[in-house]
Chain A
Amino acid sequence: DVKVTQSSRYLVKRTGEKVFLECVQDMDHENMFWYRQDPGLGLRLIYFSYDVKMKEKGDIPEGYSVSREKKERFSLILESASTNQTSMYLCASSSQGSPIYEQYFGPGTRLTVT
């Protein structure tokens, strides 16, 4: 059974803290994605990676950075958390080789910045 796991389901951080969100997939997928989900705005792509050490900006990369040192792990970093980064963060992965391009999602991390 395919699996995408995220390091925390719930996280509370203070303004200005550095925050790491970890995502691990066990499907040997080349592509990995970070989204944030806010009510009424759907999912918005923050960053994605199509290979180790490769990254591309999505629609809303400001205030975020990412790291992909190993194929199975994709980290989202909030260098200095702000209250407007309170959100649900979803990680996903997909195969480049598949003709389907469906994405597999983790359970999400609900981050609250106070």
Chain B
Amino acid sequence: SQQGEEDPQALSIQEGENATMNCSYKTSINNLQWYRQNSGRGLVHLILIRSNEREKHSGRLRVTLDTSKKSSSLLITASRAADTASYFCATDQNNAGNMLTFGGGTRLMVKP
């Protein structure tokens, strides 16, 4: 079953614009992670936010978490053509954090 649902499914923007992707989930979590996947490749971990955190930054990435609404957002500022990829949120399913449940992803296209 999918825990995380990303919105929108696809997003197309111009280079230099900001891109915002949202993720909603159904059950309580310990942490939420965002991953990136270039076309036809494996996923790469971007950032993790714990359930007791509200916001986290990493370079041009900003992640927020609202546990009351069971939602998270990933903001990429000043986007570049190289940011074109699919972005997935993933939530843990148990306290050990061994398993993650991934959403369907947002396909981001950044036009030069």
Please give me the residue from chain B that is nearest to A100 by CB atom.
B48
Interface size on A, residues (CB 8 A): 28
Q: Contact mask A58-86 → B, CB, 8 Å, 1/0?
A: 11000000000000000000000000000
Note all chain A residues with C-beta closer than 8 A to B31: 101
Of A41, A45, A100, A102, the residue contacting B104 (CB under 8 A) is: A41
A50 close to B42 (CB less than 8 A) = no
Q: A90 touching B42 by the CB < 8 A rule?
A: yes
A101 in contact with B43 given A42-B103, A43-B88 (CB within 8 Å): no
Contact A43 B98 (CB under 8 A): no
Which residues of A sit under 8 angstroms from B33, Cβ to Cβ?
101-102
Q: How far is the CB of B83 from chain A (nearest CB, A)?
A: 18
**Chain B proximity mask over A84-114: 1 for CB below 8 Å, otherwise 0:** 0000001010101000111111111010000
B103 proximity list for chain A (CB < 8 A): 42
B45 proximity list for chain A (CB < 8 A): 102-104
Whether the Cβ atoms of A96 and B42 lie closer than 8 Å is no
Within 8 A of A (CB), among B59-102: 88, 90, 92, 96-102
Judged by a CB distance under 8 angstroms, whether B51 is at the interface is no
Choose from B2, B43, B48 the contact partner of A105 (Cβ within 8 Å): B43
- Shortest A74–chain B CB gap in Å is 14
Name the residue on B nearest A98 (C-beta): B97
Residues of B contacting A103 with CB < 8 Å?
43, 45, 90, 100
The chain B residues found within 8 Å of chain A, CB to CB, are 1-2, 4, 31, 33, 40-45, 48, 88, 90, 92, 96-105
12 contacts between A and B (CB under 8 A): A40-B104, A41-B104, A42-B103, A42-B104, A45-B101, A90-B42, A92-B43, A101-B48, A104-B45, A105-B42, A107-B41, A108-B42
